[in-house]
């Protein structure tokens, strides 16, 4: 079976220049299509609608799920996965982008250029001319489509805070984004993770492997040739053992190790198991499917039991714990910027600051002292400094400090 045939699942839903089409499948989740040209009229190719979901009934994670369909796939082919992720609290986008040519065919056959894969993928992603094998300009690139869609959503739905995923109107805030994709799209997610520091990379049935040289693409096997921006703990993968389009043995013995995934656990078969699957990053299944390549993510290939895709728990696991947990390890008091002991009982706190050490801090982290929010400064991902609320220090052990994040994360409590 050819790779381009594998991706033609079911009927193709064509979405023309409509702005949005609202779905009502879930009373809390709003899902709709946005035509690429409604966000930027200079986009001229691959005009099927982006699929967007948000669930306002759950605490927002303040992270964006961006999903890249496989070759010839469109955003509408992956609605169920998108809906599941949105219902976990993510802002969610299935992206329509130039995906008409299978990357592994463009760079395969007699081609032995192991940089070909990166050149093709990066041109699709950012629109910079790197290879004659594809012809993608900036307007039609994946990055421009993401940026213009986020600007559109920010303007249309200001209360939903879509703008947080942009640094400015020309720059994506990759640190708040989970990149994911299926097949060709999974490869795009992977290379974005090499070039940008992202919250997570989740790849479904994806690899770049050159049959002529029997080696992976350089961007995978030689991360030092890229910015190598995301650490190995950010990479996760799920693929069927009997995948028709990719060699599972090569995937798990060569590709996933090149990302560093085995250090987080062996390949785990999810069939009959429950999360957290040994906390591994490497997952597989061997269940019967309409198409093994598609059933890990594509709507028409999913195995449904009692109205629910059997891989729903797997998806939920893959996208869980993407926000670093807040944990407090120690506190220290400062006066005139110098470390001091705990203020004596009855002493006014207005001359003191508190320094908190821990993990998972970001710009949204706020210190709470005895339940009262304090003015907080992010020093680093493992240190905060805050102004103590006005008042007098009580007896030892009867005051407390906690940190909370805008995504709903709450730390442990330290008493002082």
In this structure, how many other beta carbons lie within 10 angstroms of the beta carbon of residue 97? 27
Give the model's pLDDT for residue 97: 98
Give CA 78 to chain center in angstroms: 15
Say if residue 26's pLDDT is above 60: no
Domain ranges, ordered by start, for the chain = 3-318, 327-415
Q: Output the DSSP codes for 209-220.
A: EETTTTEE-HHH
- pLDDT exceeding 70 applies to what percent of the chain? 93
Pick the CATH number of 3-318 from 1.10.357, 3.40.50, 2.60.40, 3.90.1690: 3.40.50
| Contact partners, residue 43, CB within 8 Å, separation at least 6 | 36, 37, 139, 140, 144, 145, 148
CB 234 within 8 Å of CB 251: no
Say if residue 194's pLDDT is above 50: yes
Say if residue 1's pLDDT is above 80: no
Say if residue 8's pLDDT is above 50: no
CATH code of 327-415, in short, is 2.60.40.10
CB 73 within 8 Å of CB 94: no
Say if residue 23's pLDDT is above 70: no
CB 223 within 8 Å of CB 261: no
Give the model's pLDDT for residue 173: 95
pLDDT band of residue 408 (cuts 50, 70, 90) is low
Say if residue 15's pLDDT is above 60: no
Give the model's pLDDT for residue 7: 39
pLDDT digits (tens, 9 = 90+) for 34-61: 999 999 999 999 999 999 999 999 989 9
Report the length, in residues, of the chain. 416
3-state SS assignment for residue 359: strand
pLDDT band of residue 407 (cuts 50, 70, 90) is low
pLDDT digits (tens, 9 = 90+) for 141-175: 999 999 999 999 999 999 999 999 999 999 999 99
Give the model's pLDDT for residue 82: 98
Tokens 């940089």 label which residue?
115
Least confident stretch, 6-20, 24-38, 98-112, 175-189 = 6-20
Give the model's pLDDT for residue 22: 41
Highest mean pLDDT among 99-108, 373-382, 406-415: 99-108
Give the model's pLDDT for residue 346: 79
pTM for the model stands at 0.81
Average predicted confidence (pLDDT) for the chain: 90
pLDDT digits (tens, 9 = 90+) for 197-222: 999 999 999 999 999 999 999 999 99
């Amino acid at each position: 079976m050819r790779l381009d045939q594998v991706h033609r699942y079911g009927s193709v839903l064509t979405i023309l220049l409509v702005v949005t089409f609202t779905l009502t499948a879930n009373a809390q989740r709003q899902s709709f299509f946005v035509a690429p040209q409604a966000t930027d009229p200079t986009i001229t190719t691959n005009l099927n609608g982006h699929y967007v979901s948000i669930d306002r009934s759950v605490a927002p994670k303040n992270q964006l799920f961006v999903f890249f369909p496989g070759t010839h796939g469109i955003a509408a082919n992956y609605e169920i996965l998108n809906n599941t992720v949105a219902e976990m609290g993510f802002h969610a986008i299935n992206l329509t982008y130039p995906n008409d040519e299978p990357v592994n065919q463009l760079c395969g056959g007699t081609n032995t250029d192991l940089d070909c894969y990166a050149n093709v993928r990066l041109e699709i992603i950012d629109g910079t001319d790197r290879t004659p094998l594809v012809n993608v300009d900036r307007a039609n690139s994946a990055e421009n489509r993401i940026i213009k869609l986020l600007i559109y959503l920010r303007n249309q739905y200001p209360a939903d805070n879509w703008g947080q995923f942009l640094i400015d109107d020309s720059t994506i805030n990759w640190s708040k984004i989970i990149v994911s994709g299926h097949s060709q799209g999974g490869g795009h997610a992977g290379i974005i993770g090499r070039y940008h520091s992202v919250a997570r990379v989740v790849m479904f049935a994806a690899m770049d492997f050159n049959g002529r040289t029997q080696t992976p693409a350089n961007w995978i096997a030689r991360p030092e040739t890229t910015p190598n921006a995301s650490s190995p703990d950010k990479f996760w993968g799920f693929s069927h053992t009997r995948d028709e389009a990719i060699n599972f043995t090569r995937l798990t013995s060569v590709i996933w190790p090149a990302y560093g995934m085995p250090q987080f656990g062996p390949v785990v078969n999810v069939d009959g198991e429950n999360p957290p699957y040994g906390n591994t990053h490497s997952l597989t299944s061997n269940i019967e499917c309409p198409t093994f390549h598609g059933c890990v993510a594509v709507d028409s290939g999913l195995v449904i039991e009692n109205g629910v895709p059997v891989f729903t728990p797997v998806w939920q696991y893959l996208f869980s714990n993407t926000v670093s947990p807040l944990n407090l390890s120690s506190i220290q008091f400062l006066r005139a910027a110098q470390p001091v002991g705990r203020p004596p009982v009855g002493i006014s706190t207005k001359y003191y600051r508190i320094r908190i050490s821990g993990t998972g801090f970001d710009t949204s982290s706020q210190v709470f002292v005895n339940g009262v929010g304090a003015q907080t400064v992010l020093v680093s991902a493992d240190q905060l400094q805050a102004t103590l609320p006005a008042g007098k220090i009580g007896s030892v052990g009867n005051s407390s400090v906690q940190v909370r994040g805008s995504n709903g994360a709450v730390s442990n409590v330290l008493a002082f």
